[in-house]
Structure 1
Amino acid sequence: MPRKLLRKLFPNPEKLKEHKHLQFLGDSLHLPCLWNLNRHNVAAAFAIGLFAMWIPVPFQSVIAALLAVFFRANLPLAVVLVFVTNPVTMPPMLYGAYLLGAAIVGHPSAGFNFTPSLDWLMNGLILIWKPFLLGISLMAVFSSVAGYYGIHLLWRLHLLKRIKARRLRKSRRP
């Protein structure tokens, strides 16, 4: 895995520990497991980040950071993964989650007319909240599980490739 590159891109843990807005976490930021790049921490960070990106509230990164501290996952990676969702990707993702929930619940999705207004948020969202929450929940769980096991699989494949290359180098030596 590209550990050296990631370590260069990650923020310095010592500077983050001194940040005034992160003081409420106390000694939790001093835990080495929040900054390690091993298979378990990275897989847990992917699960947390991909789960938190589906939560349709502002400050998803704060939720991801708190979950990473609680589950002892790689903190910077969990926070960065939340930014898969942004103002461009969020509307199609949420609409797709709504369509999934509507298909499962049997809610007619043809009557869905979104207009970006406060009136729609107050009245229109009430009509679709059940399939919307179901779709978001399913996508969050599916993304989280797929990210967790996907990272374990990719990490294992990478290790097998390195072992195979090492054996090949040893067999070529005289």
Structure 2
Amino acid sequence: MPKKIIQRFMPDHQKIKDNKHLKMFGALLHNANLWHLNRRSVSKAFAVGLFFAFMPVPFQMVLAAGFAIIVHANLPLSITLVWITNPLTMPAIFYFCYVVGTWVVDVPTRNFAFEANWQWLIDSVSTIGPAFIVGCGVLAAVFALLGYFTINIIWRFSVAKEWKKRKARRGQATPSS
């Protein structure tokens, strides 16, 4: 069942409640619904986490946490999924966002070399920035919807399978006359 698999990887509730960046949510973090693992909260968590994973903004975890609170998604899972974009995966994911953006905006891809300085960033905002932002938005929406519906389908399939097993066990356990 997806619930058992997800529970193995879930961070401790208290660690999240004690996180210095999430303290700003105060008593909202004490809502028990944010910590439950059920089909609706997990599906929403995948949508929230995957959406903010593709957003090229600072404090993605805080944004994901705030939105998870608003839509009553599983908070730890929403925050954890943001880490799909991490320092190792970010260059490839964001380059893919740029390529998708150029396709959507219908502009040719430009050759560029990343430089870690403000001048390069300022110059890039006008050249590759629009395609990059559009690509991030498109992929954020696509993966959020894909994550939501995929988890929903997997969860329903898993529950139906468990019910079928339970029914078969009950059928075998009935004494025959």
Calculate the TM-score normalised by the size of structure 1. 0.88
Structure 1 counterpart of 2:114, one-letter code:
T
Structure 1 counterpart of 2:149, one-letter code:
Y
Q: CA 1:134 to 1:21, structure 2 compared with 1: closer, same or farther past 3 Å?
A: closer
Native 8 Å contact 2:43 2:147 kept in 1: yes
Query: Which residues in structure 2 correspond to 1:53-68 (within 5 Å)?
Result: 53-68=53-68
Residue 10 of structure 1 and its aligned partner are, at CA, apart by 3.6
Structure 2 counterpart of 1:25, one-letter code:
F
Query: Which residues in structure 2 correspond to 1:50-89 (within 5 Å)?
Result: 50-89=50-89
For residues 153 and 8 of structure 1, the distance between their equivalents in structure 2, rounded to whole angstroms, comes to 21
- CA deviation profile, 1:92-130 (whole Å, cap 9, x unmatched): 111111111111212110x22123242321213321122
Native 8 Å contact 1:114 1:120 kept in 2: no
Residue 88 of structure 1 and its aligned partner are, at CA, apart by 1.4
Backbone CA RMSD of aligned residues: 2.0
Identical-residue share of aligned pairs (%): 39
Native 8 Å contact 1:68 1:78 kept in 2: yes
- CA deviation profile, 1:70-93 (whole Å, cap 9, x unmatched): 111110000000111111111111
Native 8 Å contact 2:68 2:78 kept in 1: yes
- CA deviation profile, 1:16-73 (whole Å, cap 9, x unmatched): 5466654421220111110011111111111000000011123211111111111111
Residue 3 of structure 1 and its aligned partner are, at CA, apart by 3.6
Q: CA 1:168 to 1:47, structure 2 compared with 1: closer, same or farther past 3 Å?
A: same
Match of 2:113 in 1: 114
How many equivalent residue pairs?
173
Residue 152 of structure 1 and its aligned partner are, at CA, apart by 0.6
Gaps of 5+ in 2: none
Calculate the TM-score normalised by the size of structure 2. 0.87
| Partner-residue secondary structure (3-state), 1:153 | helix
Runs of 4+ in 1 over 6 A off after TM superposition: none
Match of 1:24 in 2: 24
More off after superposition, 12-21 vs 32-41: 12-21
